[in-house]
């Protein structure tokens, strides 16, 4: 296996698409569909897929009412522009879920925030 495509259920694909693009400092584009979009790195690597709740009959994407979104899930991203990502995150969120700190396990700086659908997003410095 070389890559995984993490897919999360969201209420509004276009809104979440723009939110993640802003967090990662990417140029604003539109998702391929109103029910599905892929956040891509500059080299075309899929970073995250966004799927509208109930758009298809996928058992775990039928409705957010089946479980609290984000329960048991941590979206963990390593970034090469940590300080800029922190600035962008502060512009997106009224408050961070975790302020910047050094993770003793990884030896890297990290912070966390919630996305528009309540998912817990951890951002960690690449080096």
> What digits encode the pLDDT tens for the residues 9-44?
999 999 999 999 999 999 999 999 999 999 999 999
- The answer to whether position 46 is within a domain reads yes
- The answer to whether position 42 is within a domain reads yes
| Residue 1 clears pLDDT 70, i.e. is over it | no
Q: Which of 42, 45, 48 is nearest to 81 (CA)?
A: 42
- The answer to whether position 1 is within a domain reads no
- The answer to whether position 87 is within a domain reads yes
- The answer to whether position 2 is within a domain reads no
- The answer to whether position 14 is within a domain reads yes
Contacts of 108 (CB under 8 A, 6+ apart): 78, 102, 124, 125, 126, 127
| Residue 122 clears pLDDT 90, i.e. is over it | yes
- The answer to whether position 107 is within a domain reads yes
Tell me the whole-structure pTM to 2 decimals.
0.88
- The answer to whether position 50 is within a domain reads yes
CATH number at residue 70: 3.10.180.10
* Backbone phi and psi for residue 81, each to the nearest 5 degrees, phi listed first: -130, 55
Give the range of the structural domain holding residue 26, as residue numbers without chain letter.
Answer: 7-125
* Strand residue runs (E) in 5-127: 7-10, 36-40, 46-52, 75-79, 98-103, 108-114, 120-125
The DSSP bridge pattern shows strands 75-79 and 120-125 to be: parallel
Structure-token match 């693009």, residue found: 21
What is the C-alpha to C-alpha distance for residues 18 and 40, in angstroms, rounded to an integer? 12
Number of folded domains that form the chain? 1
Q: What is the tens place of the pLDDT at every residue in 44-79?
A: 999 999 999 988 877 778 888 877 767 778 899 999
């Amino acid at each position: 296996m070389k890559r995984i495509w993490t897919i999360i259920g969201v209420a509004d694909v276009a809104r979440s698409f723009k939110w993640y693009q802003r967090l990662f400092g990417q140029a604003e584009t539109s998702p391929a569909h109103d029910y599905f979009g892929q956040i891509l790195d500059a080299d075309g690597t899929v970073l995250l897929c966004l799927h509208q709740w109930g758009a298809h009959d996928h058992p775990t994407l039928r409705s957010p009412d089946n479980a609290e979104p984000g329960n048991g899930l941590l979206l963990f991203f390593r970034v090469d522009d940590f300080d800029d990502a922190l600035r962008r995150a502060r512009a997106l969120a009224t408050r961070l879920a975790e302020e910047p700190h050094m993770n003793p396990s990884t030896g890297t700086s990290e912070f966390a925030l919630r996305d528009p659908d309540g998912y817990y997003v951890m951002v960690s410095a690449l080096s």
